[in-house]
């Protein structure tokens, strides 16, 4: 009888313990480099975090840390996820040059289209097929791109000649090489530094998409914005939302499923749609300010494309030295982009 009671007591304790485990709350710290009102933090990360909290019945809490509040610099964010300084980070992959050699093919000039949603979905597929090894140190949640990059300048850029000699911010090594080929003087810096650099005259202009211009006050600091004819943008930058492996692995199976359900292709599309909507907002602000919005005609755009084509040759040769078939990767990237092109 005592043995039966002891068994029942132990079973009760076990059920209570399992119930407590089931109800456990997990707090994940998400760290990124932009202010909270910027497009991705406000329109993608915040609703994504809220969705996870809702779908986990409040058992997963995601604390949002903007503008590098947890310390470090934007180029350190990927490693912060790897090392557990933060549980999740969102960052620009090009902030660590030479590290994401396969993924950066999407940054080549005029390779992507005019929709961030479509290019972000293409990037996810491409990474799954070609570049998973570049993310082996983290649990990759998604990747995405921004919309078509443009040139925003104090003096108007109406052709290649007018760009020459300008000090232009480039966010990645591919973009910086493109600027060299186009005749500008590239100045590398993370995007949060652009506002001060423009206001102090360190820069004559910057390459960014429309969506980030409101957060950086670019439409106030420069009055000229140059884009291109055709179905391809000048360039895009690649981003990753990454989770610490240990933080993911220690989740119970049902909470892992919540994270998994908010990862991958559809999450890439979510972030891409936010970028596309942000592009509309950024352009509308510049239009309301009466700024000069230039769209280079097809003939001039073709001049830029021919001049920038050498960037792809450089990239293929560069990654070949690292044992990577860049020509094949560029073909695979274009195929993925064509699959989702709108």
**DSSP string of 181-214, one letter each residue:** HHT-EEEE--GGGHHHHHHTTS-SEEEE-GGGHH
- The single residue listed with the structure tokens 């104090």 is 154
Instruction: Round to whole Å and give the CA distance between 272 and 264.
Output: 12
Burial class (CB in 10 A: 0-12, 13-18, 19+), 132: exposed
8 Å CB contact between 286 and 225 = yes
pLDDT of residue 19: 46
**What is the spatial order of strands in the sheet that 88-92 belongs to?**
60-65, 26-31, 88-92, 238-243, 139-145
Question: Can you tell me the distance from the alpha carbon of 337 to that of 87, in angstroms, rounded to the nearest whole number?
Answer: 31
User: Tens digits of per-residue pLDDT, 171-194?
Assistant: 899 999 999 999 999 998 888 899
Task: For residues 282 and 301, give the distance between their C-alpha atoms in angstroms, rounded to a whole number.
Answer: 22
Reading the block at residue 285, the tokens are 């602000």
Instruction: Count Cβ atoms within 10 A of the Cβ of residue 165 and give its class: 0-12 exposed, 13-18 middle, 19 or more buried.
Output: exposed
pLDDT of residue 190: 87
Determine the pLDDT at residue 9. 45
- Cβ-contact 325, 131 below 8 angstroms: no
Residue located via tokens 């429309």: 210
CA gap 218, 231 in Å, rounded: 25
CA–CA distance from 76 to each of 71, 111, 122 (Å)?
9, 27, 26
- Token code pair at residue 259: 């994270």
CA–CA separation, 274 and 150 (whole Å): 18
Q: Is 150 helix (H, G, I), strand (E, B) or coil?
A: strand
Give the residue among 293, 218, 245, 10 at the shortest CA–CA distance from 136. 245
At residue 7, the pLDDT reads 46
Q: pLDDT of the chain along its 342 residues, tens only? A: 445 444 444 444 444 444 444 556 999 999 999 999 999 999 999 999 999 999 999 999 999 999 999 999 999 999 999 999 999 999 999 999 899 999 999 999 999 988 999 999 999 999 999 999 999 999 999 999 999 999 999 999 999 999 999 999 998 999 999 999 999 999 988 888 999 999 999 999 999 999 999 999 999 999 999 999 999 999 999 999 999 999 999 999 999 999 999 999 999 999 999 999 999 999 999 999 999 999 999 999 999 999 999 999 999 999 999 999 999 999 999 999 999 986
Q: Which pLDDT score, from 0 to 100, does residue 219 have?
A: 97
pLDDT at 171: 84
Which domains, and CATH codes, for the chain?
A: 28-148+236-278 (3.40.190.170), 150-235+291-340 (3.40.190.170)
What distance in Å separates the CA atoms of residue 194 and residue 181, rounded to the nearest whole number? 22
Cβ–Cβ < 8 Å for 173, 105: no
pLDDT of residue 160: 95
Collect all residues with Cβ–Cβ distance below 8 Å to 327 and sequence separation of at least 6.
316
> Which phi and psi angles does 321 have, rounded to 5°?
-65, -15
Instruction: Report the interhelical angle of 253-261 vs 46-55 (nearest 10°).
Output: 140
Q: How do strand 26-31 and strand 205-208 relate by DSSP bridges?
A: unpaired
DSSP string, 113-171: -S-HHHHHHHHHHHHHHHTGGGGTTSEEEEEEE-S--EEEESS---SHHHHTT-EEEES
Q: Are 218 and 199 in contact (CB under 8 A)?
A: no
Neighbours of 53 (CB within 10 A): 15
3-state secondary structure of 97: coil
């Amino acid at each position: 009888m005592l043995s039966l009671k002891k068994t029942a007591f132990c079973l009760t304790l076990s059920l209570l313990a399992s119930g407590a485990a089931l109800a456990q709350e997990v707090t994940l710290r998400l760290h990124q480099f932009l202010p909270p009102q910027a497009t991705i933090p406000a329109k993608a990360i915040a609703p994504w975090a809220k969705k996870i909290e809702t779908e986990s019945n409040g058992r997963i809490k995601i604390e949002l840390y903007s503008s590098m509040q947890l310390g470090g610099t934007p180029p350190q964010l990927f490693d912060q996820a790897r090392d557990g300084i933060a549980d999740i980070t969102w960052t620009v992959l090009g902030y660590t040059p030479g590290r994401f050699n396969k993924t950066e093919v999407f940054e080549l000039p005029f390779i992507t289209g005019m929709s961030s949603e479509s290019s972000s979905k293409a990037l996810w597929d491409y990474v799954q097929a070609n570049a998973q090894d570049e993310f082996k140190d983290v649990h990759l949640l998604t990747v995405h791109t921004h919309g078509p990059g443009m040139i925003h300048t104090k003096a108007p850029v109406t052709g290649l000649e007018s760009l020459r000699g300008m000090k232009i911010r480039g966010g990645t090594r591919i973009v910086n090489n493109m600027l060299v080929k186009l005749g500008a003087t590239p100045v590398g810096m993370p995007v949060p530094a652009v506002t001060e650099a423009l206001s102090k005259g360190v820069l004559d202009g910057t390459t960014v998409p429309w969506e980030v211009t409101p957060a950086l006050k670019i439409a106030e600091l420069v009055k000229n914005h140059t884009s291109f004819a055709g179905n391809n943008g000048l360039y895009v930058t690649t981003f990753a939302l990454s989770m610490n492996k240990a933080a993911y692995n220690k989740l119970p199976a049902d909470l892992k499923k919540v994270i998994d359900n908010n990862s991958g292709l559809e999450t890439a599309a979510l972030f891409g749609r936010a970028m596309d909507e942000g592009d509309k907002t950024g352009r509308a602000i510049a239009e309301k300010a009466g700024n000069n919005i230039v769209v280079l005609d097809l003939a001039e755009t073709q001049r830029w494309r021919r001049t920038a084509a050498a960037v792809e040759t450089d990239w293929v040769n560069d990654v070949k030295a690292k044992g990577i078939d860049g020509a094949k990767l560029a073909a695979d990237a274009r195929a993925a982009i064509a699959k989702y092109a709108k």
